[in-house]
Structure formats: C-alpha cells, structure tokens
A = this chain, B = another copy of it.
Amino acid sequence: MKRVRIGLLGCGTVGGGLVELVRRNRGVVADRTGVELEVRRVLVRDPAKPRPVDRALVTTDPAAVLEDPEIDIVVELIGGIEPARTFVTRAIEGRKNVVTANKALLAASGGDLFRRAAERRVRIGFEASVCGGIPILRAIAAGLVGNRISALVGIVNGTCNLILTKMSEEKCSFAAALAEAQRLGFAEADPSLDVDGRDAAQKLQILAELAFGAKLDHAEFLVEGIRQVEAEDIRAAAELGYVIKHLAIGRDLGGELELRVHPALLPVVHPLAHVRHEFNSVLLRGDAVDEMIFTGKGAGSLPTASAVLSDIIEISRNGHGHEPSWHLPEAVDKPLAADLESKYYLRFPIRDVPGVIGLIATALGNHGVSISHASATLVEGRPDCGNVKILAHRCLESALRRAIGEISRLPVLAGPAVLLRIFEEGL
C-alpha cells in the first residue's frame, strides 16, 4: 500500500465532490491500485461555511497546504487565473505534483506551468479541465497516441447544449431556456462565460493543443455564442432536417489549423445530433482509428471529481520523477487559417416586399455564393414583418460576409442577418 496525502485548494462544488468520492470509494481504489488516499488539508476562503470535511483539516493559510512536507499532491479547484496561478506555481516550485480542473489557468499559462513542472520533475494532471468526467485527454494523449489526429468536433459546453435542447424540444425562447437552466443549477447567474462561447473556446484550446501538438491562444479563434439563435431558426432548421448545436471544431489542414466555436446546423442523422441536455460529446478523427466518439457528463460535482481522482491515482502510481505521459506544448506555433469554407444557413428579417428573395439571391450571386434553398415567411399577425431563409452551398465565408454587407444596406431589411454554419462532417 502506498499512502498519498492530498492538499486541496478550494472546497466548492468539485472540491466537495472529491471529498465525498474519496470517502465513498477509498476502499475500492486501494484494492484496485494499491493507493491509499488521504485528504490532509483543505484551503478555503471562508472557514465559517459548512463543508463536507473534518473542521480540523480546514485552513485559510495557503502555506499550510503548499508548504506541508507531508502533502504529495496539491489539487487546485479554486478556478480562475489568480490566485490559482500563484498557488500552482508555488506548489510546483516546492516539488509537489499538481492536479487541476482549471481550464482558464491552463489556457492562459499552461505552457509555462508545464515547463516549470518538467524542470522540477513533477507532474500536472489536468483531465478534469475539459469535459468533466469524460477521459478525453487521456484518450487523445495515450489511447490514440499512435494516430495523427486531423479533426475534432465537440459539444463541450453543457449549459449551451441544455439551452439548445430545451429550445428545440420545448419550443421555447433563448431567454426562457436560459432561465430554466439557471433554475436547474446548470447556468450561472452571469451566464456569459458559457453562452458567449468563451468556456468552449478555452476547452477547445486545450483539446487542440494536445491533439495537434501546437501552442494556441483561444483569443485568436473564431468564437460565437448562442444568444443570436432564435426559436425561429431552430424551427426552420428542423424543417430542413437539421438540429442546432453549439460546436467546438478543430481541424488540421496541413500547414494551418482551423479553430472555431459557434452554433451550427447538424443533420439529424449526425452522431452529435443525438447528444442532449447537459451531456458533452467529442468526435475525433485519427488516421489509424478513423472516427471515434466519447460521450458523457461534462460537468458537475462528481463527474469532475472522478477526473481529478483519476489524475491523482495515475500520479501516485508513477511517483516523482516519472516522465509525464502528456503535457501542453509551450511554443510550437501553427498559423490559423484566415478564411473558412462551409455551407450556411442565413436568415434575413425583412419587411414584406415582393421580389425580396430575388434581391437577396442576386446580391449573394454577385459574390459567387450560390443557393440550395430559399423561402420567405411572414410573422403571424404582422403582415409587415417576415424572414427570408437561405441555405447557401459551400463557399468562402469572406465572400459570404461581403454579400451580407451589401444585403444589409437594402431598404427591405428589417434587422441584422443571422448567419449559422452547417456542419456535415463526421457522418
């Protein structure tokens, strides 16, 4: 038996889940792996708050965790950049292994932290930082290590997926679905990190850094959230045989990478179209395995704690000085593609004017964008108010945006155009 002492930074949703999981499954973990787990110290901000942990273990002094020589592994579950970065850096400098679920920290400073860890010969476990309970980073870095990965596409934000599922199945508005997700505890009071796509972009950065072996910065990705998706679009998509999902897409185009996060129309027969509610799913394409899909709960207390625990055990078994099996790259940059080719769904809010489809189609055609479907509908009870919906064949997005610029100056337009990409790969 090998006794492993854990120092916990933060004891919120995931930290509480970890304490609970260690308590519940300590015995079965010891039987399976020979590792005996002990939560030795827990750093919190507010010591008065009730916690699922022995009061004697709670401290408000970071040094009580970071400088305790008996602690083998520091588990950072505070979230956000600071003070998490300072604490993790101190843990590494003090030659402690680190496990973290902090995607924001890794997206901001992953390369630097991994370099420090390599210098000090300690390890950083970060399975929990992407897609909660799904062992997706392990799959990329170990299970598929013999593959060149050419593409990955995922539903990686459970809040967005829950909202879009509700909008689609309960035919409600974005605002109503968001309120319901907040009521269920799946969306924060300020939901912008999720619904504006930044959370998904951070996860995509980590997935793509591992899959493509390149240092990336999600600030350079194409990132769109789901606020502009209206019930009208979900209905129109369904009629055309599509569902709308919020996707994170990474593709290795050879010389360049394509990295984007946005809502997209998926054909109903696409394997990701069936991923509902708060579930996450990642589809990978490797040159040896072809297509592979991993689906599960991407967030929540116990699923995320499960990923944290898997890293704790792996590090415990391999011990100090063992070369880490996978890490985030520090400096291998690859350029991002400047343009994008896709099929598109477009919606133009219009005043009802005869010939408006013709005007729009002509403007699209002027920029080399051809159309596979066009329809005009009126908003019920408002004869002066309607929508033209267009499906565009595969074209360059730059050309399409020029066409939309031209169309937006037409006097028949009643509001800004909605542009959604259609994603048909991986069928």
Chain A interface residues (CB < 8 Å from chain B): 17, 21, 24-25, 28-29, 31-34, 127, 132-135, 138-139, 141-148, 213, 271, 274, 286-297, 302-303, 305-307, 309-310, 313-314, 317-318, 322-323, 325-326
Contacts and interface: CB of A to CB of B under 8 A. Distances in A.
Given A290-B133, A293-B295, A310 B28 contact: no
B289 A296 contact: yes
A145 B287 contact: no
B135 A29 contact: no
A145 B323 contact: no
Query: Which residue, of A32, A34, A133, A288, has the highest number of chain B Cβ atoms within 10 A?
Result: A288
Contact of A145 (B132, B133, B147, B313): B313
B34 A323 contact: yes
B146 A135 contact: no
| Copies of this chain assembled into the complex | 2
A310 B142 contact: yes
Given A32-B213, A310-B145, A292 B134 contact: yes
Nearest to A313: B145
A288 B134 CA distance: 11
A143 B135 contact: yes
B296 A148 contact: no
Contact of A291 (B286, B289, B291, B297): B297
A269 to B, nearest CB: 8
Contact of A302 (B21, B289, B310, B318): B289
Nearest to A20: B288
B313 A288 contact: no
A294 B297 contact: no
A289 B317 contact: no
A317 B29 CA distance: 24
A305 B148 CA distance: 13
B295 A289 contact: no
B146 A138 contact: no
